[in-house]
Every structure is written in C-alpha cells, then in structure tokens.
Amino acid sequence: MAEPLLSTRNLAKSFGGLTATDDLSLDVLPREVHAVIGPNGAGKTTLISQLSGELQPDAGSIFFDGQDITALPAWRRPHLGLTRSFQITSIFRDMSALQNVALAVQAHAGHSFRFWRPAAQDPELLEPAREALRQVGLQHRADVAAAALAHGEQRQLEIAMALATRPKLLLLDEPMAGMGPEESAKMVELLQKLKGTLAFLLVEHDMDAVFAVADRITVLVYGRAIATGRPEEIRGNENVRQAYLGEESLAV
C-alpha cells in the first residue's frame, strides 16, 4: 500500500459534553477519492474543520505529506496542498466569478504586497483562473457577479477556487448541498473528471454520488469510524447497515 497522503491518528474533539470526533484514525492515499459518510451529527464537518485547521483538535495528530500539521495555522495548509471547500457556500459575493478564482490563484502566487500593478489585468492571475473555471465548466460565466450565479454554479465556483490553489488533497464538504438532481449529476461528472488527478476527502449525504465516485469509504457515527473499505465492502457491512444505511431503508 502506498504511503498515505493524509492520516489522522486518534483525533478527538468535544464541545462541552458533546463528542464530535472520537479517537478517529483514518488515512487518504494520494489521488484517491475517500468518502466520509454518516448520519447527521456524526461529526463530518467538524472533521473537515480540524483537517483544514479552522478547529484545533483536543487530542491526536494530523499528518500531511509526511509532516505533522496538527498545530499548523489554517492559512498555511493550502500552501502544502491541503485545501477545503465549504458546505455553506463561501465565496466573494460582490466580485465576479473570475475575480473569485483569481484571488485563489493570487493566494498561491507569492506574497501580495504588491501595490501598483492592477490585479484584474494580470495574466499571471487571469490565465490560471480561466483554466480553473474551464475545468469546472464555468468559463462562460466568468464575468458574472458571484452573487448572481445559480446555487449550483456557486458550488462549482467553490471547487474552481479550490482547484486554483493546486491542491494535492481537496477537502470537499458536501459539494452537492442544496442541489437538485440535474446539478448533482453535473457535479458527479466533474468529480469523475477530476478523479485520479488529485486526492479527495469527500463528505456527502448523496449516496448515489458517493458510490459512483469513491475509491474507499469511511463511515462515521457519533464521531467514530465504524467501518472503512471499498464501496462494495461498505455496502455489505452489517454494522454500517444497522447504524446508517438501515435508517435509510427504514425510511423507504
């Protein structure tokens, strides 16, 4: 087995009496799509926030690309290749789609203590930005204000911004949140297109999407990983069935 790109060891996080992450050890291999699923309240977003650095874990450690990044500030992690997208769309609403992505490119083009040349005409920023928009299929909407984009397009923009940072591992927090079937299908298409070029840690509720894209799946219940394995293994796992998929089939 290849050396994991990301691995957590005994990660733990609690909020008062609530345990959000419970002795969690998982890993993500390079260029693998690793999905994390689980019922609501399982601690999936908390996990992502700890991996991206917005939350500090109470215990345990996080390793990325051979380095211990547990205490590394959030803003440094994208520079190592670890980038996240947000469950609730977090973009620069008052700027155009192109400007949004250009900012992402700028974040990785050295420091920004440049006071003279206009950024909006800088090919160094615009070319990679257009490329990222092309990758997600938004190139024709480049000059539209981000606030004016459709919800699905905004989620695509999130991904474009993340891609512009040239990540090795992308933490995707429910990319399909709030999307209808058409938009979801487009997103799955995009993920399949990107599959194999970089690693993904994908948190999602949409099971069809997860099973279509994932190389491996980890099931999280009350902050604990109760199973990890390939999709077929997970589908057949009794514990998982009971804890999670069982609820779903009951609903049917």
Partner 1 sequence: MRVDLRLLLILLVVACLALLPVAALLAEEPYWMRFWSRIMILGLAAAGLNLILGFGGLVSFGHAMYVAIGAYTVGALRHHGVEGGLPDILVALGASAGVGLLIGAICLRTSGIFFIMITLAFAQMTYFFFVSLEQYGGDDGMRIASGTQLGPLHLDDTLTLYYSAFLLLCGVIFLTWRLVNARFGMVIRGARSNEQRMAALGIPVFRYRLTAYVISAMICALAGVLLANLTLYISPAYTHWTRSGELLIMVILGGLGTLFGPVIGAIVLLQLEDLLAHITQHWQLFLGPILILVVLFARGGLLGLLAPRQISQRPAEEIDG
Cα–Cα distance measured from residue 201 to residue 173, given in angstroms and rounded to the nearest whole number: 8
The verdict on 90 binding partner 1 (CB under 8 A) reads yes
Query: Which position among 56, 71, 114, 196 is part of the footprint of partner 1 (CB under 8 A)?
Result: 114
> Least distance in Å: CB of 163 to partner 1?
12
Q: How far apart are CA 212 and CA 12, in angstroms?
A: 30
74 binding partner 1? (CB under 8 A): yes
Ramachandran angles phi, psi of 185, nearest 5°: -60, -40
Report CA-CA distances (Å) from 11 to 36, 46, 123, 125, 235.
15, 11, 42, 37, 25
As given in the structure block, the two tokens for residue 15 are 């909020």
- Interacting positions 121-140 with partner 1 (CB under 8 A): 122, 125
* Binding of residue 177 to partner 1 (CB under 8 A): no
Tell me if 151 contacts partner 1 by CB under 8 A: no
Residue nearer to partner 1 on the CB measure, 104 or 214: 104
For the CB of residue 23, give the shortest distance to partner 1 in the complex, in Å: 27
**Can residue 106 be called a binding residue for partner 1 (CB under 8 A)?**
yes
Distance CA 210, CA 215 (A): 9
d(CA 217, CA 240): 11
Q: How far apart are CA 135 and CA 166, in angstroms?
A: 12
* Part of the chain binding partner 1 (CB under 8 A), chosen from 59-67, 76-84, 191-199, 210-218: 76-84
**Residue closer to partner 1 (CB basis): 92 or 222:** 92
Sheet containing 224-229, strands listed edge to edge, beginning at the edge strand earlier in sequence = 82-85, 169-173, 199-203, 33-37, 216-221, 224-229
**151: closest CA among 179, 189, 181?**
179
Q: Pick the binder of partner 1 from 3, 25, 68, 79 (CB under 8 A).
A: 79
Distance CA 84, CA 68 (A): 18
Beta carbon of residue 97, minimum distance to partner 1 (angstroms, whole number): 10
For partner 1 (CB under 8 A), the number of binding residues is 44
Task: Supply the minimum distance, in Å, between the C-beta of residue 140 and partner 1.
Answer: 14
Q: Candidates 12, 72, 145, 212: give the one binding partner 1 (CB under 8 A).
A: 145
Binding site for partner 1 (CB under 8 A): 52, 54, 73-79, 83-84, 86, 90-96, 99, 102-104, 106-108, 112-120, 122, 125, 143-145, 147-148, 161, 165
